[in-house]
Structure 1
């Protein structure tokens, strides 16, 4: 384990916060293509122009202050990119809300994060009531008479919060994972060092904003000077293009049958990375370069990122031996700042070992004789479904909030959908239960009854 954790590396860091790193890339290549979606595109210089228009509006007209949480509920678009970087440049904390979530849930999440402002666009503005200020990004950018001179002068330190990701919570309330600027920048430096992320790359943005991976796709690309291609939710991927590229697998365990699919569609010439990591450890924690001809038994999650550490512990928090299952603890550069407003949950999630904080992932792993980590499942009832992290207790709590429900159990069925078993003290039909779930839960958490 000691040799596996020999990951110390000094990276040259020009600046300490995300938006200053972005401006640094604009200065290096202002006319380079930054982002495109269908026939729309922006160079780095053009993107900076719109970002500064938005950020200065937020500061001067809406008095956004450093560290203020700002939600954004926007479909995949150029406005989505402008909004994220605009929040960062204003010194705010970016918090994505999924446009697919029901109105009741969106309202609850804005209350939980204490957000007074939500950035929207024409497709999502109707989702918010008058008790919260919803700002249409496109409308702001179309105003020509505001002061656009100069950049935002907000200075943010690396220790300050950059963004919040909302994950499913077993108590019925989502957990708000707070990630620092330095957490994210250090994570990106690790990916750059192994050449899985670079200025010559083109990154396809295809994950939903409920995944923290979208932050890597968008902000990470702009921090290294790459080109971001936004993919419509119903869009398709050109596999001939991918065959000359890098392919990174995140969100779900990498299954051996997936290798068969990759070989079948003839993209074996690409470099294939398997990344593992919870949001609490900043997107990725371990990485493995997959060999499509040799990795035919199981796909490892690999070794820790640079400046990350991994420990495998038994139930008594004692180190496990090689070949024995244990809980994976992640320490080092990516450990998050805690759950917003939930110091009790933060205290349970973090443990100090030899003077360093480690995050208890709840994931079971084992280490093989080559020092590679293999994912073995969960130690609790948390599941993954289509890449989404789900606490079954959150769904059960939702159903138990119905007065007539006396008992409820939710489980994952056949690895592809959720099933809820409900006991009721009075007659209630399945459609009423489903409608209740639809009005309180995101689509991926709605079970069959």
Structure 2
């Protein structure tokens, strides 16, 4: 399954490419680790967890989707990686390590958050599970309350709002060893990306051309926060956030144009 990447995916992919030297990335900015521990006297079967993760990842194509730039189309594409792909052995990785001190645990957590080599978006490796045992790996393959469970995702294929869905399906898969999966009725993020690409933006673009008709759109504006990157410099990862107010008149025209022409407000903002 192949489709153009969504606008959000393209922004993240480009930001990673532009923010850092691609050959020497210093720190990850789109790792999304979620850390969990068990209640006292509770245990978790690693074997059952592994099976539940396989079912959950198989159900959600975003968790095994790759991003690559198509030179011929000049477009960032996303592709759902399947078990039939020859180069693909696993849809995700499970890592096991141990810790004895809080300092060691903190180092592990920081590595999950900042290590730029944990994922391979081009190959569809965008999810990993890290089992962190206290002092020694369990001989009976169970997690206990002093052990730590880390689910880590790459943000280009996963958002915070998706975590509740992931946990719901994981719990069902762990409890019942099965998970309903109907490809014919499930709306995938890939489907949304296709719909997004097909959104008509002509009306939204016409609004801004009319609103800015007296502006010199082809002339660069020198701003005090502009920074120019030299070819021999490494990017720091620091960014500048700028906000501005449209003003009452333009905001009124914006809302009026959207309602009068049946154009979603977000389309108008996308067209700026």
TM-score normalised according to structure 1 size:
0.19
TM-score normalised according to structure 2 size:
0.28
Between Structure 1 and Structure 2, the one with more helix by share is 2
Relative contact order: is structure 1 or structure 2 higher (C-alpha 8 Å, sep ≥ 6)? 2
Between Structure 1 and Structure 2, the one with more strand by share is 1
